[in-house]
Amino acid sequence: MSALTIAGRALSSRLFLGTGGLPSLVLLEPVVAAAEPGLVTVSVRRTSSTRDGGLLDVLRRSGVPLLPNTAGCLSPREAVMTAELAREALGTDWVKLEVIGDEASLLPDAIGLVDAADQLVRRGFTVLPYTTDDPVLARRLVDVGCAAVMPLGSPIGSGLGVLNPHAIEAVRAAVDVPVVLDAGVGTASDAALALELGCDAVLAATAVTRADDPVTMAGALRLAVEAGYAARRAGRIPRRTTARASSPMTGRIA
């Protein structure tokens, strides 16, 4: 699979892995090994202990680059502050930007998102915003300097897959930066579909971490992303509403 490059950095895989939701940190190492992700996301939270349970040790050992997020941030101010703290704590200026509109839907706040992205780009961050499947908003995010856009397939944690494939295709067509499908992936076929639609990568968290068998699902998503990317390059046949025989009609017996 040819490499994906974001902001000049070549990534080893088109599958990005979210680490939230694993029932036990013990599973993290085998999950990462099975997924072979190009990036792994982490969140930043208040702490009263230096013991992070070995999270950073495991991730650093895996050699996969970290992508801190601003998950749960409800305002540009909070998101920018969280990104600044992540940069200091983790030594990366990459950030998966989330500015959440409300805690029920977890949908992005489009206006706050562009504002926060603009501020972070000016502060030297490489910004990958979690956004809606809106091609106009995607273009606005690229206009302020985002290095990629991460449209949702369906709500975070829903596992509903890609609810509006046409919108994802429209986002793909609207921007010239990598498109990473983020949120909604429930199983391997959802990830494959995202790549078939033209996405450059997929970020999956819950699909892996809350699967009955996270390690096996991690491997399934790795294969699905490879399959979807290959299918995209191969070029699918046009859809038809009528049958078209693939076997010759001539030369049949009787």
Residue numbering of the annotated binding site = 157, 183-184, 205-206
Distance CA 58, CA 166 (A): 38
Strand partners, 210: none
Judged by CB under 8 A, does residue 141 bind another protein? Answer: no
Judged by CB under 8 A, does residue 50 bind another protein? Answer: yes
> Locate tokens 């699905």: which residue?
224
Name residues whose C-beta falls within 8 Å of residue 89's C-beta, 6 or more positions apart in sequence: 44, 68
Choose one: 16-24, 111-119, 163-171, 226-234; the region binding another protein (CB under 8 A).
Answer: 16-24
Judged by CB under 8 A, does residue 220 bind another protein? Answer: no
Judged by CB under 8 A, does residue 108 bind another protein? Answer: no
Judged by CB under 8 A, does residue 86 bind another protein? Answer: yes
Judged by CB under 8 A, does residue 160 bind another protein? Answer: no
Q: Are 82 and 45 in contact (CB under 8 A)?
A: no
List C-alpha distances in Å: 174 to 118, 126, 140.
Answer: 19, 20, 10
Q: How near is the Cβ of 186 to another protein at its closest, in Å?
A: 14
Q: How near is the Cβ of 50 to another protein at its closest, in Å?
A: 4
Total residues interacting with another protein, rule: CB under 8 A: 36
Instruction: From the candidates 14, 87, 96, 222, give the one annotated as an active-site residue.
Output: 96
Q: Is 155 exposed, middle or buried (0-12, 13-18, 19+ CB in 10 A)?
A: middle
Judged by CB under 8 A, does residue 221 bind another protein? Answer: no
Q: Which of 6, 39, 41, 188 binds another protein (CB under 8 A)?
A: 41
Residues annotated in a binding site for 1-deoxy-D-xylulose 5-phosphate: 157, 183-184, 205-206
Strand partners, 113: none
Q: Are 179 and 160 in contact (CB under 8 A)?
A: no
CB closer to another protein out of 142 and 180: 180
23 is catalytic: no
Q: How many CB atoms lie within 10 A of CB 144?
A: 18
Parallel/antiparallel/unpaired status of strands 9-11 and 4-6: antiparallel
User: Catalytic residues, which ones?
Assistant: 96
Q: What residues line the site for another protein (CB under 8 A)?
A: 18-22, 25, 28, 41-50, 52, 55-56, 66, 68-69, 71, 81, 84-90, 156, 203, 205-206
